[in-house]
Amino acid sequence: MKTITFTINGEKETRDVSESKTLLNFIREDLHLTGTKEGCGEGECGACTIILNGKAVHSCMMLAVEIDGCDVETVEVMSKDGNLDILQEKFIEHNAVQCGFCTPGMLMSARALLLSNPNPTVDEIKTALEGNICRCTGYKQIIEAVSDAAKGGKYE
Amino acid sequence: MPTLNYLCPTTSSELKKILKKKKTDSFILAGGTDLLVKIRHNVVKPKEIIDIKKIKKFNEIKLTKTQLNIGCAATLNEIAENKTIKEKFPAIADGSLSIGSTQIRNRGTLVGNLCNSSPVADTVPGLLIYDAKIKILSPTGTKTVSIHDFITGVGKNILKKNEIVESVILPLPKNTKSAFLKNARRKALDLSSVNVAVGLFNKSKKNPDIRIAVGACAPITKRAQKAEKFLKKNGLTDETIKKAAKMLPISPISDLRGSKEFRNKIAHRLFIKLATQLGEV
């Protein structure tokens, strides 16, 4: 076991964690934040995407001990006091959700993009989402939802 | 995953002490985009992980008057977005950008791509045409070797068990035009069927200092010396480029990313396209 200190969705936390635990399993099993999903477990599908120090990364391909001293955001950061984030609202409005399994990862990739680039082009949106696979083939609606959420360039 | 001992040195001297005692079941962790997959599939069974990312200088991309140093923990996206690399070493920037996805490039490193030593590695053709030097750190100090001597086989390189690559050094070229192209089944998250880097290192079309490397078509990606010499002697024309394409040192295999016939054809096409483009401007 190793003691790590990190920020999760804005809250500072100190936890003991097994050195062999992946960050994804730590998030789901220890922090009980089950919005983050395991799809392939090897970096192909993007369902486990989280934001680490402002960048979208796969939580399945990291050890939990690696987040010591880091800032971590999961999909749970997005809604506050029962109010949805603009990205979540636009995903619903554009029917960008079908089975919903890829959605947390899609939202995290889109959020990482808008936080660093508030006015992305469609190509930039596609690049940001290239690591997120949707098997219900809803890419068109997802890209439209992200474009719409970015309107005005004031995402925060 | 079995129990692990996780070590996270914050200075080179601390790392050197760890490397001195490093055993064969101890693995270096930078981005982890290859290592974590190998652990998941039981390809490797580490008892110890040495995380090298917290050593500050390993994360740097540093420009001096004569060279550019890329630290072993610098991520592929940091490299792809770096202004100097985009300007002076576009084959490295584009090679890095063609790997995996945004999430993978935010973690994976160029040095990891190199040390994995896969024949399909997308940063290797670029490293070859820029004559990169590889700085190796061991418990006793550092040494520098040429990229041309680094990779020794499929997944194999000259690194000994207590050595790591600390950085990649790219000598700043003059009068360079260079580019990288990759063919894969889909744009994101796919390995190359063929990748090619070509650079023109002088302004002479008559005696071009051209450098060519074709990847994913042989166990070890090497410079196309015969084709380079031929073009230097005979000049850069549509005709000589077509002849040079037949001299590429490629012996592709058939696998799920393409048959050998397909790979041969694509390698020729990508090389001809790049060489023609560079000759035009």
Q: What is the pLDDT of residues A119-144, one digit of tens each?
A: 999 999 999 999 999 998 779 999 99
- Sorted by where each begins, the domain ranges of chain A are 2-76, 86-150
Summarised one tens digit per residue, pLDDT across range B187-209 is 778 888 899 999 999 988 899 99
Q: Which amino acid is at B160?
A: K
Say if residue B281's pLDDT is above 80: no
Secondary structure (3-state) at B18: helix
Average pLDDT over residues B51-70: 97
Picking from B3, B40, B107, the nearest residue to A57 by CB comes out as B107
CATH number, domain with residue B10? 3.30.43
CB contact under 8 A, A20 and B100: no
- What is the nearest CA distance from A102 to chain B, expressed in angstroms? 15
Report the alpha-carbon distance of residue A147 to residue A131 in Å, rounded. 18
Residues B121, B220, single domain; the answer is: no
Instruction: Note the pLDDT of residue B184.
Output: 86
Which of residues B114, B136, B171 is at a domain's end? B171
Provide DSSP, B86-115. Answer: HHH-HHHHHHHHTSS-HHHHTT-BHHHHHH
Do residues B136 and B195 share a domain?
no
Look up the CATH superfamily of A2-76.
Beta-grasp domain (3.10.20.30)
CATH number reported for the structural domain that contains residue B228 in this entry: 3.30.390.50
Q: Are residues B201 and B263 in the same domain?
A: yes
Query: Does residue B167 share a domain with residue B67?
Result: yes
In chain A, which ranges are continuous DSSP H helix?
Answer: 23-25, 86-93, 103-116, 122-128, 139-150
User: Which residues constitute the domain of residue B29?
Assistant: 5-51
Are residues B61 and B166 both part of a single domain? Answer: yes
Q: Classify domain A86-150 at the CATH topology level.
A: DNA polymerase; domain 1 (1.10.150)
How many domains would you assign to chain B?
3
> Does position B258 have pLDDT exceeding 90, yes or no?
no
Q: What is the pLDDT of residue B187?
A: 77
- Which residues in chain B touch residue A43, judged by CB atoms under 8 angstroms apart? 33, 36-37, 100-101, 103-104
| Residue B175 pLDDT grade (very low, low, confident, very high; cuts 50, 70, 90) | confident
Sequence-separated (6 or more) residues with CB below 8 Å from residue B97: B76, B77, B80, B105
What tens digit of pLDDT does each residue of A50-106 get?
A: 999 999 999 999 999 999 999 999 999 999 999 999 999 999 999 999 999 999 999
**Same domain, yes or no: B63 and B80:** yes
Q: What is the ipTM, given to two decimal places?
A: 0.96
B66 touching A (Cβ < 8 Å): no
Across the interface, whether the CB atoms of A46 and B101 are under 8 A apart is answered yes
B39 and B65 inside one domain: no
- Say yes or no: B158 and B217 in one domain: no
Which residues of chain A neighbour B77 with C-beta distances below 8 Å? 55
pLDDT band at residue B133, thresholds of 50, 70 and 90? very high
- Choose from B25, B27, B40, B101 for mutation: most chain A CBs within 10 A: B101
CATH number at residue B116: 3.30.465.10
Contact A46 B51 (CB under 8 A): no
